[in-house]
Amino acid sequence: MVRVLAAKLILIRGKKKPLKLKEHVLYKDVYKFTPNQIRQQEIEEKLIEEETARRVEELVAKRVEEELEKRKDEIEREVLRRVEEAKRIMEKQLLEELERQRQAELAAQKAREEEERAKREELERILEENNRKIAEAQAKLAEEQLKIVEEQRKIHEERMKLEQERQRQQKEEQKIILGKGKSRPKLSFSLKSQD
C-alpha cells in the first residue's frame, strides 16, 4: 500500500525527487510497477479495506450484541428504573399543574364572589338611597298636601265668613228697609209757627 501511495504521489506531483515515505520503501521501487499493476494494486487494497471494514463492523456488532446479552438484565432494570423515575416526575408535574389550576380557579372564583358582593352592596346602597329619597319625597308631598288642605280650609272658612257677613248685611239692609227692630229712626213731625 505504501508503494502504491508513493506511485500516486509521483504521478500527481510529476517530480522525480524522493518522497518522505517509510524507510523500507525506496524511490526506485515505485518505478517497478506499471500503471495497470498500480490500478490492480489499488483495487486489491480497496477490496482489502472494504473486507476489513466489513469484518470490523461485524466484530463490533457481535461484541455489542454479546455485551448487550451479558448486561440484558442490568439494562432492563436501568430502563425500568428510568421509566419509573420519568413516570414519577411526570405525575409530580401533573399534580403540581393540577394544584396550580385549582388555585387559579379558586382565586378566580373568589374574585368573582368579591365582585358580586361589591355589586350587591352597591345595589343595596343605591336602593337605600332611592328609598330614602322616595321617603323624603313622600314626606315633602304629604307636607305639601297638608299645606294645600290647610289653605283650602282657610279659603273655605274665609268664604263662609264672607258669606255670613254678606247675609248679615243683607238682613240688616232688609230690616232697615222694612223698618223692623228699631232699625230706623223715628221721624217726628212738629209744627212750629213762624213769626
pLDDT at 82 over 80: yes
pLDDT of residue 143: 92
User: pTM higher than 0.85 for the full model?
Assistant: no
Quick: pLDDT tens for 3-58: 544 444 444 444 444 444 444 444 445 556 688 888 888 898 999 999 999 999 99
Question: Which residue in the block uniquely carries the three cell numbers 524507510?
Answer: 23
Quick: pLDDT tens for 124-180: 999 999 999 999 999 999 999 999 999 999 999 999 999 999 999 988 888 777 766
pLDDT of residue 112: 95
Say which residues have a Cβ less than 8 Å from residue 65's Cβ, sequence separation at least 6: none
